[in-house]
Amino acid sequence: MPRYWLVVGSPENWKTAFEHNNIWGLKESQSRLWDSLLEGDRLLFYATSPVVGLIGYGTVTTKFRQNHPLWPQELKEARVIWPLRFEFDVGYCLPPGGWKERRIVSKDLWPRGGFQPLGEQLGEQLISSFEEADPTIPLSEPSGPAGVLTELEPISADPEEVLLSHDDLKEALVQIGRLQKFIAESEYQFDIGRLDVVWRRVEKSVPTYVFEIQIGGNLHQAMSKLKHAYDVWNSHVYLVTPEEDFEKANQLLSGTFHEIQGRLRLIDCPQVRELLEKKKGYMLLEKELGIT
């Protein structure tokens, strides 16, 4: 059962959040609230003066720590004020020009802080207040990261061909990430070595998705890097390895790496190619239909 949270911020900070692919942050003093926040929880967006009311709602998708300034106050002071961050999907949002005139107000809301839990009944009631509003109008068209493919390469005519080499798998994961409008790169340097592939939302953000590819060799080393990425960034972590190595990986997850047993996902090598081909197929169809 998802929980409901009231997220309070200035109109300027909300605009920054939406412009950076829907990111919000909490202070270190709010770590208990951040720890209890779960993917799938519902959010009510509240803008302070001069709006003073609800402007939309959304759903938590992932959490991560960030050590780079993002919001205007952070940039001005050259320090991170809200390092405990999370991404969210927007369910509905009023257009910025109509925030003050079309905001939702409620006598049951008395925002006293930047982030606070709401009861389920009140949360559902407030979300239902937007039901008669116009369809969502995006605040800005998300800009794709540098290097997004503008022309898709043709899909291999041989469906039986399988990507099995380490380098081919890395390149395929980078392409998939860019098709999903992430900043995707390989050989990402961090404090204990290099990660095969990472996907980030914005240039100065930490990796949201982390992939290690292991075809034979040392599974323990690959999983160590993924665990460290999860520990320091709260990233979504994936091990790409042949299906015959899943049993060994699961044994390590039930023992040495039990802390990430519920977080790390295993991907069979051919699935990477399958996903890339389907992604390209959908995008080529969208381009043909003119709906990209």
- Compute the distance between CA of residue 281 and CA of residue 115 in angstroms, rounded to an integer: 42
Two structure tokens written together for 182: 């992430």
Q: Helix, strand or coil for residue 100?
A: helix
pLDDT at residue 146 tops 60? no
Q: pLDDT band at residue 52, thresholds of 50, 70 and 90?
A: very high
Q: pLDDT band at residue 172, thresholds of 50, 70 and 90?
A: very high
For range 161-179, the mean pLDDT: 83
Length of the chain: 292
pLDDT at 245: 94
Answer with the residue of higher pLDDT: 287 or 144.
287
Q: Which residues does 252 contact at the CB level (< 8 Å), separation at least 6?
A: 219, 220, 223
Q: Give the pLDDT confidence of 202-220 residue by residue, as tens digits.
A: 766 789 899 999 997 789 9
Q: What is the CB neighbour count within 10 angstroms for residue 75?
A: 12
In this structure, are residues 71 and 16 in contact, taking their beta carbons and an 8 Å threshold?
yes
Q: Give the pLDDT confidence of 76-117 residue by residue, as tens digits.
A: 999 999 999 999 988 888 888 889 998 999 888 877 678 999
Closest CA to 145 of 102, 68, 201: 201
Span between the terminal Cα atoms of the chain, in Å: 35
Q: Which residues does 203 contact at the CB level (< 8 Å), separation at least 6?
A: 145, 183
Calculate the alpha carbon distances from 45 to 14, 25, 74, 121 in Å: 8, 13, 20, 17
pLDDT at 178: 87
Domains annotated for the chain, with CATH where assigned, are 4-128 (3.10.590.10), 166-288 (3.40.1350)
pLDDT at residue 138 tops 70? no
pLDDT at 194: 93
pLDDT at residue 153 tops 60? no
For range 54-59, the mean pLDDT: 93
pLDDT at 112: 67
pLDDT at residue 291 tops 80? no
Q: What is the CB neighbour count within 10 angstroms for residue 65?
A: 17
For range 44-61, the mean pLDDT: 94
Q: Helix, strand or coil for residue 69?
A: coil
Q: pLDDT band at residue 133, thresholds of 50, 70 and 90?
A: low
pLDDT at 205: 75
pLDDT at residue 197 tops 90? yes
